[in-house]
Amino acid sequence: MKDRKANSQKQNRGISRRNFMGGAAAAAVAISTVVSSSKAAASPDTRKFKLKYAPHFGMFKNSAGNDPIDQLKFIAEQGFTAMFDNGLMGKSEDLVDKITKEMDQLGMTLGPFVLQGIGGKSFVTRDKNMRENIVKRVKEGVEFAKRANAKWALVVPGAYDNGVEWDYQTANVIENLKYCADVCEPSGLVIVIEPLNAWRNHPGLFLTKIPQAYQICRAVDSPCCKIVNDLYHQQITEGNLIPNIDMAWEEIAYFQVGDNPGRKEPTTGEINYKNIFKHLYDKGYKGVIGMEHGNSKTGKEGEQAVIEAYRTCDAF
């Protein structure tokens, strides 16, 4: 009887030990799974974006430092496949060469550089000296584009003239752009003209709307004269963003974005960028989308918020 009881107690202890060990193993697996899941959730998303969203230098300087090459590497690590720099033409030859080489190694696409800024009355006039200056500048842009491996150069046609009938000014802009296109066509450099809003940022300029830019590009009739559709400006000027994209589609070569009001990253204002990006993707857009906006928050936190905003809008 005592032997049976002792054997029974022994067996119970063995069962309890096995149950404990099995429970401990299961608990360890559960804890490991939770930890792994937590690590996965904390890991940054580095997948390439569906579209070529292009940050600019300085947008991630708190995370990447001040060196442009380090910034390019950081941008690529986050999944971006493009970059734009309005002031690229003003940088030193040595730095441009380094930027071009690094972008080539990273497989990144360069968006437009600014060739002709806002300026005064320029394209609206038929003044011969002004035309010579415009053509000279475009020739410089063609040579720079070869060095920087750039495909697009941004042009703002300048201010309007209160003393000249509007239709004459339109004809002059078309004629001046034809001269520019003739200079660009042998190299293939594409001039992209940008309508800017007059209500908040740029009063007094000639080109303000997408239909107006479309009319001009149709008249110039060259593959080297196309439109920049900056959706921030167009939301202020005319709205109706997606229908205007469709109406002017064959003349649009480049998009820029920023939310309104505030001109910060998508999701901070009234524009539904997730729908717009999906629309561009579905239409087969392969070009660059310049992130021409500020950050809504400061420091690294603000830079991470920008990345997360694009992840949100790219999740279609």
Active site amino acids: 194, 292
Bridge partners, residue 110, by sequence? 83
Query: What DSSP state is assigned to residue 47?
Result: P
- Which residue in 146, 141, 71 sits closest to 113, CA to CA? 141
Backbone angles phi, psi at 117, to 5 degrees: -80, -160
Burial class (CB in 10 A: 0-12, 13-18, 19+), 161: middle
d(CA 42, CA 184): 48
DSSP string, 111-129: -PEEEE-S-SB-TT---HH
The number of residues making up the chain comes to: 316
Tokens of 299: 């420091």
Bridging pattern class, strands 252-257 and 152-155: unpaired
Bridging pattern class, strands 288-291 and 52-54: parallel
Backbone angles phi, psi at 35, to 5 degrees: -60, -45
Q: Cα separations (Å) of 91 from 137, 144, 148, 156? A: 16, 11, 11, 20
Type of residue numbered 261:
P
In this structure, the dihedral spanned by the alpha carbons of residues 39, 45, 47 and 51, taken in order and rounded to 10 degrees, is: 160
The residue assigned the tokens 């107006």 is 212
The residue assigned the tokens 């032997």 is 3
